[in-house]
Amino acid sequence: MKKTAILTLMLGMFSFGFAQPKITKVSFPNSVKIFDLYEISFQLGSYTNPYDPEIIDVYAEFVSPEGKSFKVNGFYFEGYSFQQINGHEQAQVERSSFGWRIRFTPNQIGSWNFTLHAKDQRGEVVVSNYESKTCNFHCLAVDAGNGFIRKANSVFLKRETIANGRKSYHSYFPVGPNVAWYGNKTYYEYDKPRGIYEYNMYIDSLSGNANYMRIWLNRYQYLSLYGPEYTQTENGKPKLYFDSSINQKDAAELDHIISYAARNDIALMLSMFTYGDFAIHDNKPELHYPQPSDWRNNPFHTQLGLTSPCEFFSDREAKRITKNLLRYIVARWGYATNVACWELWNEVTNMTHDCPNNIYQQDLIEWHSEMADYLSSIDPFDHLISTSLGSATGLGNLNKNIFKPLDFVQFHNYQNIHKAKSKEQFSYILLKKSNEGRKMYPTKPFFMGEFAFDQSKPNLLYEDHDPKGIDLHNSLWSSLFSGSMGPASFWYWEMLYRCDLLRIFRPMLNFCKQIPLLSDSFTAHTTGEVVRHSLLFPNDLETYYLVNKAEDTILGWSQDTVFCYQSLRRLSGTVGKNGLFDETKVTDPKGYVYTLNPEKRPKPSSKSNTITLPISKQRIGTQYVVRWFDAETGLEITSERITAKVKRECVFNKVLSIEFPSSIRDLKNGKINNTLGDAVFILTVDDGTEKGSSTQGTASSRTFIINKKRP
């Protein structure tokens, strides 16, 4: 029963008669600040499918002060206003706003000009001035501002910024959680969403604590451009949006979310599709029907007529419709400097459950390549493009090829923290997963886009057993130094809000602001060594660190091992079988983990504060400057210039030994003086300059100058 676009195309051809398209009521501002939204509005005739460029193709060509051209596609727009009533979002359509828009972001100060283009099957119109008003504007200077996020190299990201009126690139580490969708009063109360007001709540809580979050554009009962809309009805059923219509109410919600996040300095990863919308749940009664987001409600099935989810990746008409959706997304939100990434799929490997054959896997690989090429061709702002894997095991051909046309590699990982043995601490797992990604794609950055601890059983709820987020804190810090482009992004955002843990990202954010652009020669290491079934750390100091090729710059995190989740549970006196904590013995609400009671703070687990790092490139006697930062604030805690030297450990090995801050791990008095017994460090070779220390070695491994004067 596949419904093709032939009828729509024919109707589109005759809906406007035989005249050329006519652009009227053009409105545009005379000036805009650099990196701010510049929006043009205008009117066109009526089209049966304003989202299909084969019927009506609208775009603008912008020319910079230096003569560089940018092609920006236009989009059809219907405005909505919102208000909150009894805790729920109420949307009101604003018909006076209906029309067409062009959104652009200038990146250069000076005079710009543009021309508008509209083309249909009967002709093309070009507008370079309107009612005697030349189509140009002036881009104004600012003292501070943020531009687009890019790849800095094969490991890290960067962002163009303006500080004190000067434009330059700074490092960008995405620090923050997933906030995939907004909620309802109950899961099935689809017609009463909290909508943008719930996103406001999360963004307000993340403001100043994070600079990133990930959201979905494909959850039918929440935010979704295609699919059923549960707050609107037609013939007693949810109104359906697909192909020739886009959910303009949800698009208006996304307008608000993106701009509100930008005002709070939070960038977004926008996830386009998810496997759940394509999942076949016929034999899964545990999922409690109705499931609004699944294959039986997917318009690619109900409207286009695809008989299997697998066909989505190979069907020509499905690809055409998908490209039109991507074009709309880029046209409407590509202007936003805080859109960090277009994510094509959430956990696309989970699609292999219903489509397991090798032919399908090749279709999936080719689909990603085709869509990535298309996005690149229509995005004048060159946003990052990625996808995510639910699992990186058992699908060799898929894993080895799917990220080739994309900008960075993205895995997801979930672990049962209660059953973890010491060698399986999440910190170590995150390092291993990062190494796996880097090994598969050595020229691409890696990101753990989702991670969390098991919540599959009522007695294993992570928030019940670690409500202060001890292992979350540890995992965030260790993953920052795992070779990833940023700390792992936690999944259970509602749990973070309930437990007042959205502030847990702030130390990482504060510290990352201290890190200038790093070269791609940095590699990730740990001082731990796997011995049989345990991960052992010298002097019981768990250390994860990054070191560049020249070994003149080292950044890392170190913590007393007594502060891992399993060790802290042992201190409470509730121990499971084999001395480990599992689902049979994990409920002690008076334990240290639950209260973080200072009176129960553990003592240092060894009598040494020495952290030893292997060094091979630097000479014996090379002196380093050591800066220590509090891992609970991300702020510097050393007030004097502390130095360390490379020494000979044995005939063949050289080491650099640094001392963990005694102000935190007070061995003399047998005390630990901060909440979680950890600290962060930056080591750089001392060059003796008044500015402090700077990197040595080749230009390719050079990193940064520490602006710290001698005491």
pLDDT in tens, 62-85: 999 999 999 999 999 999 999 999
Segment 334-361 shows an average pLDDT of 89
Do 232 and 250 contact (CB within 8 A), yes or no?
no
Coil, strand or helix at 444: coil
Quick one: three-class SS letters along 556-578?
A: EEEEEHHHCHHHHHHHCCCCCHH
Do 150 and 158 contact (CB within 8 A), yes or no?
yes
Among 60-69, 330-339, 559-568, 609-618, where is mean pLDDT lowest? Answer: 559-568
Q: Cβ-count burial of 11 within 10 angstroms (0-12 exposed, 13-18 middle, 19+ buried)?
A: middle
Coil, strand or helix at 662: coil
Q: Which residue has the tokens 């303006």?
A: 162
Do 214 and 489 contact (CB within 8 A), yes or no?
yes
Q: Cβ-count burial of 523 within 10 angstroms (0-12 exposed, 13-18 middle, 19+ buried)?
A: middle
Coil, strand or helix at 270: strand
**pLDDT per residue as tens digits for the range 422-435:** 556 788 889 999 99
Among 178-182, 495-499, 638-642, where is mean pLDDT lowest? Answer: 638-642
CB within 8 A of 207, min separation 6: which ones?
264, 265, 266
The pTM of the full predicted model, rounded to 2 decimals, is: 0.91
B/e letters for 545-558, b = 16+ CB within 10 Å, e = fewer, are bbbbbbbbbbbbbb
Q: What is the mean pLDDT of the chain?
A: 86
Among 12-16, 65-69, 394-398, 554-558, where is mean pLDDT lowest? Answer: 12-16
Q: What is the model's pLDDT at position 2?
A: 57
- CA–CA dist 77, 251 (Å, integer): 9
- CA–CA dist 596, 569 (Å, integer): 11
In this prediction, residue 11 has a pLDDT band, given cuts at 50, 70 and 90, of very low
In this structure, the strands spanning 339-346 and 384-386 are parallel
The torsion of the CA quartet 262, 263, 266, 268, rounded to 10 degrees, works out to -30
CB within 8 A of 521, min separation 6: which ones?
548, 549, 550, 700, 701
Q: What is the model's pLDDT at position 106?
A: 98
Query: Could you give the domains of the chain?
Result: 6-142 (2.60.40.10), 143-172 (no CATH), 174-518 (3.20.20.80), 559-701 (no CATH)
CB within 8 A of 94, min separation 6: which ones?
78, 79, 80, 81
- Phi and psi for 586 in degrees, rounded to 5? -135, 10
- CA–CA dist 53, 701 (Å, integer): 47
In this prediction, residue 353 has a pLDDT band, given cuts at 50, 70 and 90, of confident
Has residue 27 got a pLDDT over 60?
yes
- CA–CA dist 555, 280 (Å, integer): 46
Has residue 710 got a pLDDT over 60?
no
Residue 181 identity:
W
Do 694 and 710 contact (CB within 8 A), yes or no?
no
B/e letters for 207-237, b = 16+ CB within 10 Å, e = fewer, are bebbbbbbbbbbbbbbbbbbbbbbbeeeeee
Q: Select from 424, 421, 477, 472 the least CA-distant residue to 451.
A: 472
Has residue 604 got a pLDDT over 60?
yes
Helices then strands, counting H and E runs in the chain, come out as 14, 35
Q: Which residue has the tokens 């007393």?
A: 560
Q: Cβ-count burial of 134 within 10 angstroms (0-12 exposed, 13-18 middle, 19+ buried)?
A: exposed
Has residue 56 got a pLDDT over 50?
yes
List helix spans (H) across 577-629: 592-595
Residue 8 identity:
T
**Quick one: CA dihedral 322, 325, 327, 333, positive or negative?**
negative
Q: Select from 468, 469, 470, 488 the least CA-distant residue to 478.
A: 488
Q: What is the model's pLDDT at position 311?
A: 95
**pLDDT per residue as tens digits for the range 454-467:** 766 665 677 776 77
Q: What is the model's pLDDT at position 589?
A: 42
Calculate the alpha carbon distances from 325 to 32, 50, 95, 218 in Å.
28, 11, 23, 12
**pLDDT per residue as tens digits for the range 511-554:** 999 998 999 999 999 999 888 767 889 999 999 999 999 999 99
- Phi and psi for 296 in degrees, rounded to 5? -65, -20
**pLDDT per residue as tens digits for the range 104-147:** 999 999 999 999 999 999 899 999 999 888 999 999 999 999 99
Has residue 598 got a pLDDT over 80?
no
- CA–CA dist 658, 644 (Å, integer): 6
Q: How many C-beta atoms surround the C-beta of residue 496 within 10 A?
A: 24
Q: Residue 603 carries which DSSP code?
A: P
Q: Cβ-count burial of 82 within 10 angstroms (0-12 exposed, 13-18 middle, 19+ buried)?
A: middle
Has residue 703 got a pLDDT over 50?
no
> Order of strands, edge to edge, in the sheet holding 88-104?
24-27, 38-43, 88-104, 75-85
First to last CA, the chain: 78
